[in-house]
A = this chain, B = another copy of it.
Amino acid sequence: MARHVVTGAAGFIGSALVDRLLAQGDEVVGVDDLSTGRRRFLEAALATGRFRLVERDVTDPAALEGLLAPDVATVFHLAANADVRFGVERPRRDLEQNTIATWNVLEAMRRAGAPRIVFSSTGSVYGEAPVFPTPEDCPFPVQTSLYGASKLAAEGLVQAYAEGFGIRGYVFRFVSIVGERYQHGHVLDFAAQLLRDPARLRVLGNGRQRKSYLYIGDCLDAIQVALAAPSTRKVEIFNLGTDEYVTVDDSIAVICEELGVTPRREYTGGDRGWIGDNPMILLDCKRIRALGWTPRLTIREGVRRTVRWLLENRWIVPEART
């Protein structure tokens, strides 16, 4: 029975990971400040008796004090700001919640002798990627968002701590993840709009941005496959995505179908929905596929499940959104 620490344990991906680790018989300490995480996502976990939730904020350097030790098999560091869009009102947010928080986690691990970190990075580190599908070793990219830059910075810290202090690193560059407990992103935004007014949908950009999404179950499968595979590298880096993309319009079609609505679409225009938005995301996932992993759901199926879950869990859908 292995012991793990999961930061961001009450979030979408974090809570699903906690459930998965518990299902394989492990013990988990979850850390979450519950600023965007939800205790509700952890009800089943708490009922197992093998999970403990510690309410702390990883932007505090002392957040992991007393929780780490050499026999903690893995620190899954998922706590992060997950909003890709630029925020002039809180420009320091990405730096603090993604970069400095990751440094805090690494430094706590170094001091406690914790051996292995799994870091949730993002396909956004490729900026406007120089090649499609984008492999892990594509030409050195230029950052186009503070979100991507802050995650790239954190990746670099993970890599440097692996080299300097022997902490094994696993970096997963996700596309957007969809599925049960989804609580942030375009599917929720569109669903919220349509539940409020089924006749009208406002779309950032021209709807033709090409995006990749991955179903949460497939994402967790991939992480487990990667961790179980033999490795001689100090840091393993894996893209996690599907080999397909959908346009924003494709995604809207699925959402509308599930909701049974046919809104008038109002596009803000342009091939980028916001500053730092990528007109196209398509990751080359040969590395993880070479280990035997393959996603079970298509993007459309993943989006569909997400909408169904949102409809069954309307408490997650914000009442008013413009």
- A143 & B163 in contact (Cβ 8 Å cutoff): yes
Residues of B with C-beta under 8 A to A110:
91
Contact between chains at A103 and B92 (CB < 8 Å): yes
Q: Report A146-164 residues with CB < 8 Å from chain B CB.
A: 146, 148-150, 152-153, 155-157, 159-161, 163-164
A276: B residues at CB distance < 8 A:
160, 163-164
For residue A91, which residues in chain B have a CB less than 8 angstroms away from its CB?
Answer: 107, 110
- Identify which of B146, B235, B237 contacts A160 (C-beta below 8 A): B146
A86 proximal to B (CB < 8 A) = yes
How many copies of this kind of chain does the complex include? 2
Instruction: Determine if A95 is an interface residue (Cβ-Cβ < 8 Å).
Output: yes
A140 within 8 A of B: yes
Whether B130 lies near A145 (C-beta < 8 A) is: no
Q: Which residues of B contact A199 (CB under 8 A)?
A: none
Q: A137 on the interface (CB 8 Å rule)?
A: yes
User: A99-B99, A99-B153 are contacts. A160–B141 as well, Cβ < 8 Å?
Assistant: no
Interface-centre pick from A92, A142, A144 (highest chain B CB count, 10 A)? A142
- A residues near B, CB below 8 A? 86, 88, 91-92, 95, 99-100, 103, 107, 110, 127, 130, 136-146, 148-150, 152-153, 155-157, 159-161, 163-165, 235, 237, 275-276
Q: Supply 18 A–B pairs (Cβ within 8 Å), ascending by A.
A: A95-B99, A95-B100, A95-B103, A99-B153, A137-B140, A138-B140, A142-B237, A143-B157, A143-B160, A146-B164, A148-B156, A149-B157, A149-B159, A149-B160, A152-B153, A153-B153, A164-B275, A164-B276
